[in-house]
Structure 1
Amino acid sequence: MTTSPPQIIDWDLAVRLGTRLAGDGPTVGRDEAAAAVAELRAGAHRSTPLVAEFTGLHADADTAPVLVVDRGGWVQANADAFSTVLAPMVAKLVEKKPPSGLSLAVGSRITGAEVGGLLGFLAGKVLGQFDPFHDPSGRLLLVAPNIVQVEREIGADPTDFRLWVCLHEETHRVQFTAVPWMRDHIFSLVEQLSATMDSASLLEDGLARVKAAVGSGTSGGSLVEMFSTPEQRELMDQATGVMSLLEGHADVVMDGVGPEVIGSVEEIRAKFNERRKGVGTLDRLVRRLLGLDVKMAQYRDGAAFVRAVVDKVGMSEFNAVFAGPENLPSKAEIHDPQAWVARVL
């Protein structure tokens, strides 16, 4: 007989709190909501051959379900994904210091509230997401209220904007289903990171860096950077390289395919880039602390890498990047595409 590891995060609390903090989003009539859902589903299916033709990567259609969700649905889906991805880290921490009954009960609610707050904040920002950790082949999530909200805010044509979002997210589906080792590679980075976890020293060192940053009046980077060791940052640099590649590749595809099927793509891109900068001082501060400014840099730097390589060698040769983990760009190579070309090609 086996026993399940103790749950150091109260996932039910995280989902309840995250859903409540996220809110419902913009007011949308029943007919308008139904039309938006139908158009997003159609856009996802329409994107499949468009992405395949542009990238040269082929993944069977319908290998991963398309789910059009509200903010609460996105919170639940990500709580499920996080519980899977964080399982190696949780097991490692519990192995090093098994929690007592009382500390587990209290601690799980505290961490559940923290995760719920994070999910609640992000649930109002995310337009779509491919979840590669959902068995057996992942799932594509499109957050309908957020898509409607953004298209209203930037004054975009709804049909054009919805297809544009679908192109980006469908590219992620293709990346993971046409490149089957990608999921295991990312999960292996998480497992390697979990092997370095020591909660006591991590907390002590991280708090020292936060104190130093506050005392000097500087930002000090994100909380992830502050609460990590050099070994962990090296692993995170590997993750940054692959995530920059995936996000940048998706941005290049959505803009490359766009002019053929989306009349207002240039206008959408210009307005959307402006919106990505964040709204207001508080919003920018929260993004900074959570490392979301790094996420924005991944879109920008990854797209620049992809465009530079494709311009030099063509899309077919660029696809060598998906041949195996050893061909993935490092964080340094993302900023030096020629170095990647010299090493891999």
Structure 2
Amino acid sequence: METTASVSENPPRLVNWELAATTAAKLTPAGPKMTSAQIRAAVANLRELADASVEHVHRITGLEAARDLRDSEVLVVDRAAWSKANARSFEALLQPALEELARKKPEQLKSAATAVGSTLTGTQMGAILSFLSSKVLGQYDPFCSLLPGGPAGGRLMLVAPNVISVEQELNVEPADFRLWVCLHEQTHRVQFAAAPWLRDHMLEQIGKLSAGLVAKADTFAERLQQAARALIAGGKDALQGGKNDAGSPDSAVVAGGAGTLIDLFQDPEDKAIFSHLTAVMSLLEGHANVVMDAVDASVVPTVKTIRQRFNARSKSRGALENLVRRLMGLDAKARQYTDGAKFVRAVVDQIGMEGFNQVWQREENLPTEDEIHNPDRWISRMDQSRP
């Protein structure tokens, strides 16, 4: 059918990602004022410390994959470049689901584009990217290989203006802080090298979730708006210093609570996938935090001071920033760091790092969301799976 073919070749776009990237670049402040020479020196130092951190990751994790990371790359970027890279990756992640729906149900995809268009425009996504681009210190993107010319093993981006801004704000030793940050980010790079199947597994799960959302065009926009209203209501309570109906200032973003991403997923299958991805992200972030915190003064001389000031920093955010973070689910992501780190430490304490490293062997060894909160259950399952 000619109409179906033309839609399949050029499926409707739910978001104008080029507009999102350009909007983010316009809205985002440039960062700390530095001379060209200072910028070059900082970039070179970040590259050097990124390389140096890999050996520490290898020693702490025992993952031999750290010895060969040639399939991935490290970039030191500014905020605008980070926004552009993420806009391109988001589009690439959504594209397979859009193309599949365009082949099977072109009219439904057209309906989805119409329903979502008033809610998720390129300008609005650009504003979100702009906020995030001034907060992210580093990011490992395993999905950039979907892009033309993208490295097969993924890409680590260190956002130089943000690293420098935070180290100045905390008044800590720049080289120590940069190495500390690199330890966390390089751990993500090593994780995907140790589990080469993980990228495709996550792509498959994200694809199913994306396809499910797009296919439910008749209710997606309504559910998105309901979630947004619930988050905003909780955010108003936060600005006023009060608590919401659940009795907790953070309950609006607890998985499964009112006004969360999970409210967009109504089918049991979608909720199960979302739960699985939450567990995987908790594992990855928690493991990286454990590595980050495993170093002592022999590696990062001022690490104790850095930890104390960095942890205290999150408690000093203003009400407006706390509201924005809640609306965007960043507080929920912060809990992934905490929950995942507790899981990793509990497992390592009981069966050692070698026992924990079973998690990278195959997808069946990934913890469930329940096991993240109950490490003994994961350990028991791993014992039972041994021949």
Question: By the TM > 0.5 criterion, same fold?
Answer: yes
Q: Which runs of 5+ in 1 are unaligned?
A: none
Distance 2:18 2:316 in 1: 30
Contact 2:227 2:261 in 1 (8 A): no
Contact 2:192-2:198 within 8 A present in 1 as well = yes
1:31 CA displacement: 2.0
Native 8 Å contact 2:69 2:190 kept in 1 = no
**Counterpart secondary structure, 2:125:** helix
Structure 1 range deviating more: 40-49 or 215-224: 215-224
Report the more deviating stretch, 131-140 or 119-128.
131-140
1:228 aligns with 2:265: yes
Compared CA separation, residues 321 and 259, structure 1 to 2 (3 A): farther
8 Å CA contact retained: 1:207, 1:227: no
CA deviations 1:66-88 (Å, max 9, x no partner) are 10000001001101111111223
Contact 1:24/1:145, CA 8 A, preserved across alignment: yes
Across the aligned residues of Structure 1 and Structure 2, the Cα RMSD in angstroms comes to 2.5
1:51–1:257 Cα contact (<8 Å) kept: no
The one-letter code of the counterpart of 1:297 is R
2:370 aligns with one of 320, 324, 332:
332
The 3-state SS of whatever aligns with 1:118 is helix
Equivalent in 73, 76, 94 of residue 86 of structure 1: 94
Q: In structure 2, the residue corresponding to 1:99 is in which secondary structure?
A: helix
Whether the 8 Å contact between 2:98 and 2:109 is mirrored in structure 1 is: no
Aligned: 1:141 with 2:157:
yes
In the alignment, structure 1 residue 66 sits paired with structure 2 residue 74? yes
Match of 1:288 in 2: 326
SS at match of 1:172: helix
Q: 1:276 to 1:58 in 2, by over 3 A?
A: farther
Structure 2 contact 101–211 (Cα < 8 Å) conserved: no
User: Match of 2:241?
Assistant: none
- In the TM superposition, residue 122 of structure 1 has moved relative to its aligned partner by 0.2
Alpha-carbon offset, residue 10 of structure 1: 1.1
Amino acid at match of 2:351: V
Q: Cα deviation per residue 1:28-62 (whole Å; 9 max; x = unaligned)?
A: 22222111101100011111122112111122133
Distance 1:278-1:334 versus aligned 2 partners, 3 A rule: farther
Note if 1:128 corresponds to 2:138. Answer: yes
Cα distance 1:263–1:230, how it changes in 2: closer, same or farther (>3 A)? farther
Asked if the contact 2:24/2:83 (under 8 Å) is kept, the reply is yes
After the TM superposition, which residues 181-200 of structure 1 pair with which residues of structure 2 at under 5 Å, given as runs?
181-197=197-213, 198-200=216-218
Counterparts of 2:324 and 2:181, CA distance in 1: 24
Structure 2 counterpart of 1:183, which letter? R
Identify the residue that residue 240 of structure 2 maps to in structure 1: none
1:97 aligned residue: 108
User: Aligned to 1:186, what secondary structure does the other structure show?
Assistant: helix
Match of 1:203 in 2: 221
> Is 1:168 aligned to residue 178 of structure 2?
no
Bigger drift between 225-234 and 203-212 goes to 203-212
How has the CA–CA distance of structure 1 residues 110 and 264 changed in structure 2, closer, same or farther, with 3 Å as cutoff? same
Q: Is the 8 A contact 2:16 2:122 kept in 1?
A: yes
Q: Do the aligned partners of residues 109 and 204 (structure 1) sit closer, same or farther apart at CA in structure 2, a change above 3 Å counting?
A: closer
Matched position secondary structure for 1:196: helix
1:188-234 Cα offsets, whole Å, 9 max, x none, are 11122134221222333444565567499656434423333253332
Instruction: State the Cα distance separating 1:143 from its structure 2 match.
Output: 0.2
The structural deviation recorded for 1:257 is 2.9
Amino acid at match of 1:74: W
Aligned-pair distance for 1:275? 2.2
Identify the residue that residue 321 of structure 1 maps to in structure 2.
359
**2:151 paired with 1:113:** no
Amino acid of the structure 1 residue aligned with 2:63: L
CA distance in 1, matches of 2:308, 2:200: 35
Unaligned runs of at least 5 residues, structure 2: 146-151, 238-243, 246-250, 254-258
Between 185-194 and 69-78, the greater mean CA deviation after superposition: 185-194
The separation in 2 between residues aligned to 1:340 and 1:110, in whole angstroms, is 38
Q: Does 1:249 align with 2:259?
A: no
Q: How does 1:45-60 map to 2 (within 5 A)?
A: 45-59=51-65, 60=68
Q: Which residue of 2 aligns with 1:18?
A: 24
Q: Which portions of structure 1, spanning 4 or more consecutive aligned residues, are displaced by more than 6 angstroms?
A: none
Residue 156 of structure 1, aligned match among 158, 168, 172: 172
* TM-score (structure 2 length as normaliser): 0.82
In the alignment, does 2:194 pair up with 1:178?
Answer: yes
Give secondary structure in 2 for the equivalent of 1:260: coil
Provide the aligned length of Structure 1 versus Structure 2.
343
Do the aligned residues in 1 keep the contact of 2:176 with 2:300 (CA within 8 Å)? yes
